Amino acid sequence: MPGAPFGRSVSTMLTNSLQVAAAERAATDTDPRAELAISVRELHKRYGDRDAVAGIDLDVARGEIFAFLGPNGAGKTTTVEILEGFRDATSGQVQVLGVDPAHAGAAWRSRLGIVLQESAPEPGLTVRECLQLYAGYYQAPKSVDETLELVDLLDRSQERAATLSGGQRRRLDVALALIGDPELIFLDEPTTGFDPSARRDAWAVIDGLRALGKTVFLTTHYMEEAERLADRIAIIADGRIVAQGTPKTLGDRDREAAAIKFTLPGDRTLSDLPEALRLAASVDRSGRVSVSSSHVTADLHALSGWALEQKLELDDLEVRRATLEDVYLRLTHYHEDGGRP
Ligand code: ATP
């Protein structure tokens, strides 16, 4: 049997059953939540006396790129494996492409593409042969050339899988997950260990999936990746969803005060600043002033007006807003200094 990414699923795919397909189509026709690619309600997974997943709700729309973030041990893999049908839930309702994964069959599975963190495509085969092999498991696979082009491996199609670099291997993994033309793709930390340029290449591939209208469920530890790719993000910590939203609005990021930062010349102190700024200002250990501002335009106007009047240059003046990482660290309780910019 071929190795991952389909290692866990190929044998079940080969036992494709028309009855299962019909039952799945019937479920899709009658359930309004089938409009969603993924719908989860009150999902629990208990190991012994510990809740790895403690009652989570998630909705992922079709065509969406959804990022699932959380610290180590938060419950991501457990949740994803339940969505993929590889693990049973303790309780809760789960629908993936309109079907409960716990009772889904080969026809449903063939609508998923799964890219695991570790994979071992047939090392003796060339890139093209790997894809041809996997294509054989599907009734209506995508064309091998089209798939190779999508992941930018067309010029490597005659190379043996074993000789590919880590980044190229990962692209082959994505190609193998795409060859069945799936509707929903699970990407588990797709760029871990990549250099910055390989990461950007991988992002272009994932953007390509968006353009094809695929739904992508992505786990990642890179905030920049989530920000760059995701339409929506959910953060899980200790088995609970602590925030869901777009990259811009997650955890009220858009409503957080900004910080206007600058260094005062040596002969000036905070008490010299206009009162409205002074009241919202603090100085850090390096002597840099930070003014917490909910009205950035007006506060900058007041500050620059004062500086010009005093004939002062504020060389390192900058406005800083909360980054996705700031929000993530605050929400997952790892931000030791309070989490404000
Ligand atoms: P990481 O980012 O490190 O991959 P994760 O968010 O994917 O972490 P999970 O692998 O889902 O976390 O694990 C959630 C919790 O469940 C952890 O405390 C883990 O130790 C526990 N756990 C996972 N699988 C099992 C298992 N088979 N038996 C017992 N406990 C488990």
pLDDT at 41: 97
What is the set of domains in the chain, with CATH numbers? 10-248 (3.40.50.300), 257-320 (3.30.70)
Question: Which H or E element spans position 173?
Answer: helix 166-178
Asked if 142 and 178 count as a contact pair (C-beta separation under 8 A), the reply is yes
Residue 39 bridge partners (DSSP): 59, 95
- Cα(241)–Cα(292) distance, integer angstroms: 29
Query: By alpha-carbon position, which residue is closest to atom 19 of ligand 1?
Result: 73
Residue 235 bridge partners (DSSP): 69, 243
pLDDT at 14: 36
Query: By alpha-carbon position, which residue is closest to atom 17 of ligand 1?
Result: 73
Asked if 43 and 100 count as a contact pair (C-beta separation under 8 A), the reply is no
pLDDT at 244: 95
List C-alpha distances in Å: 192 to 65, 187, 322: 18, 11, 24
Between the CA of 57 and the centroid of ligand 1 the distance, in Å, is 18
Mutation choice for ligand 1 from 76, 88, 220, 328, CB with most ligand atoms inside 8 A: 76
Q: pLDDT tens, position by position, for the chain (341 residues)?
A: 333 343 344 333 333 333 444 455 455 455 555 579 999 999 999 999 999 999 999 999 999 999 999 999 999 999 999 999 999 999 999 999 999 999 999 899 999 998 877 666 677 899 999 999 989 888 889 999 999 998 889 999 999 988 888 888 888 888 998 999 999 999 999 888 788 888 898 899 899 889 989 999 999 999 999 999 999 999 999 999 999 999 999 988 888 889 999 999 888 999 999 999 999 999 998 889 999 999 999 999 999 999 999 999 998 999 999 899 999 998 997 533 444 43
Question: Which H or E element spans position 293?
Answer: strand 288-293
pLDDT at 31: 53
Q: Beta 232-237 vs 184-188: how paired, if at all? A: unpaired
Residues with CB under 6 A from ligand 1: 47, 52, 70, 72-78
For the chain, the first-to-last Cα distance in angstroms comes to 52
- Closest ligand 1 atom to Cα of 70: 6
List C-alpha distances in Å: 247 to 57, 232, 322: 19, 6, 11
Between the CA of 53 and the centroid of ligand 1 the distance, in Å, is 9
- Closest ligand 1 atom to Cα of 239: 14
Asked if 99 and 24 count as a contact pair (C-beta separation under 8 A), the reply is yes
pLDDT at 198: 83
Query: By alpha-carbon position, which residue is closest to atom 29 of ligand 1?
Result: 47
